Structure 1
């Protein structure tokens, strides 16, 4: 598999994982079907066996039903080599599941009067951002939050120049070599969000290219865009005068008492993070990304349970913890004309959340990270899955798809069984 192919796999993986289901891994080993799960004890047994029998380093799950967390457990290892258990307090990054926090930040900023979904982004940005293929097009906030802005991820540039191994990490390991040699990631200091985005989207930037833009009018075509999400974070910075990570901490994390969560990697003891794995023999060094709003929330299963519970309450109009009921409604309201989102991906989009089969959901995948969160649009229940399992390289994709399918089935059986 070529380097470019692997990059493309990662870029579109969030789409693939919601489309595909599989019950066996590449080696042909079958994962047992969950059967007769009628209690938390049954679910514990099944998930414990799943982790032991498959290529899952560590796994954590929180489940909400009604207005309560009815299940919250972790399995496997945060660090296999040192036999450190994966617990509800293990810090793990959550990749693109972070985008749901960008959605919440947008809803809050709108409520505070900084902008609306109809605001032209160039009314906020300090430098005009123009799509050279659609120079008359007006890119609005609503286009960023629904992936219809025409601002694209140029795959090779996005990964090799956005992701980086943090200084002080050992780069003589097999995992570091994989990231550096196969993807082109370097070890370096982090650029500011403004520096990176200017380099990518402004004409005199080192990373600027026509490949960064689609030749389609804003709002007309759906293209999943990490960097348009990063730009959303920067727009919030510019509008509010706060760094995006501080804004999220003050307006979201603090109110939910998510005290172990942060976008700021400098606040994390990286030696105590859950190790990210390509496979059980290939741990990865700690890495970060400059466009951090779209993929670099660091959190725990305990904290994500609090977030999940509030989202379940909010989608049915029973929370005002983060903002008004109207703002929760905005967060989860369909924003696009029918047929804008590819039919096999989703039915519609809210503020980064997408909708399919009566669920509001989002996933996240990066090197050594695979996560998923979904809630019933009627607010009956929801769950979040965190793992330090890789699904970015082709040999691991089917493994994760199989695990996720079995976890979802087991959770559904558990929810159906309890009152």
Structure 2
């Protein structure tokens, strides 16, 4: 028996006369508290390896949070603690909220998954290699549109700090890949340029050779295009529509697509190394990875997703959630040996949401950001991990994986709480 657990049980016994206490009837909360202590110790030990400045975690089920905590700092200079209420962007986990927003727009009758995307756009989009095959909304939500990222996607990041250039605290090598605020195009202009480029030799050419709907190829640009289509279909900005129908109904006070809406004192600095940071930035294709939130708020979202999976969601009707979670990919859509192997292990896509890692959810990675959010449909237990520092070694990556593994293994032991 773990020494901490034994000590807690011994203390309990001394308080309540062992001769009148059966260990089988000891308050289960005492056991759970011991598990929390052990879990906290393991997570703290990962932080003490000093691969990352800050780590945020949460474990939830369909009833709400089970465990949430932060480790390290949201800013190394001021030594402010990273907590479950620390704000940072969550990279591609944002696509799950994009998927929920799309599902709501479909439920409200603004569009359907089988619509040709050109129904909503002011410019025509077809794969030049398959000009007679329409790209449908469902192709975007399942990454089968034949739109890929390539070099063009690297032009999607915007530096929001005017004095970032030559700032010794900012990674200048990484900064070279960021747009300035003055040079950055809007979402529609950015997409129009890339999606109307037909010369395959241009860096802005972003289509692969496959017919739309026939091959899986992950696309951040396709996610950004989905947000634009939702705007056109609803007559409302995507950010406003998502806030009204997803963020506000869940009561999320520290979640927004606009970093300026949130308390900068709670926002984490993002680091490229342990010494250098990134500037505050945003994405032109914001819906693919630009949501700002906290481990606590994302836990609320994950709780709703778990409830929705089980027919008890509040954001969408049960039938809409069924459509949201429905697996859309088949074996023929995987064209590489690795992707086919992933499919055979259970990989699939619903409406932007992913089946993988023995669960349902999404992962995320952006400059200074690594995130995971998954739930186990067998236990209804979900786990969340935030990091605010890039991987700078194999050991750092292994620590990230270990954090998720620890949360996954301890989740069932916390359920009795």
**TM-score, reference length from structure 2:** 0.84
| Mapped partners of 1:226, 1:67: distance in 2 | 32
Q: 1:95 aligns with which of 91, 96, 115?
A: 91
User: What's the counterpart of residue 317 of structure 2?
Assistant: 324
User: What's the counterpart of residue 3 of structure 1?
Assistant: none
SS at the partner of 1:242?
A: coil
Deviation at 1:59, TM superposition (A): 0.8
Which is greater in Rg? 2
Query: Which moved further from structure 2: 265-274 or 135-144?
Result: 265-274
User: What's the counterpart of residue 185 of structure 1?
Assistant: 178
> Counterparts of 1:9-158 in structure 2 under 5 Å?
39-155=35-151, 157-158=152-153
Gaps of 5+ in 2: 1-31
Q: For the aligned residues, what is the CA RMSD?
A: 2.2
Deviation at 1:290, TM superposition (A): 0.7
User: Could you list the per-position Cα deviations for residues 6-47 of structure 1 after superposition, in whole angstroms to 9, with x for gaps in the alignment?
Assistant: xxxxxxxxxxxxxxxxxxxxxxxxxxxxxx996111111111
User: What's the counterpart of residue 18 of structure 1?
Assistant: none
Say whether 1:348 aligns with 2:344: no
| Mapped partners of 1:38, 1:374: distance in 2 | 25
Kept after mapping to 2: 8 A contact 1:169/1:285: no
Q: 1:268 aligns with which of 254, 259, 262?
A: 262
| Mapped partners of 1:41, 1:241: distance in 2 | 50
Deviation at 1:265, TM superposition (A): 2.6
Kept after mapping to 2: 8 A contact 1:37/1:43: no
Say whether 1:365 aligns with 2:342: no
| Mapped partners of 2:397, 2:75: distance in 1 | 22
Kept after mapping to 1: 8 A contact 2:193/2:204: no
Gaps of 5+ in 1: 1-35
**TM-score, reference length from structure 1:** 0.84
User: What's the counterpart of residue 25 of structure 1?
Assistant: none
Kept after mapping to 2: 8 A contact 1:103/1:353: yes
> How many equivalent pairs are there?
374
Deviation at 1:384, TM superposition (A): 1.2
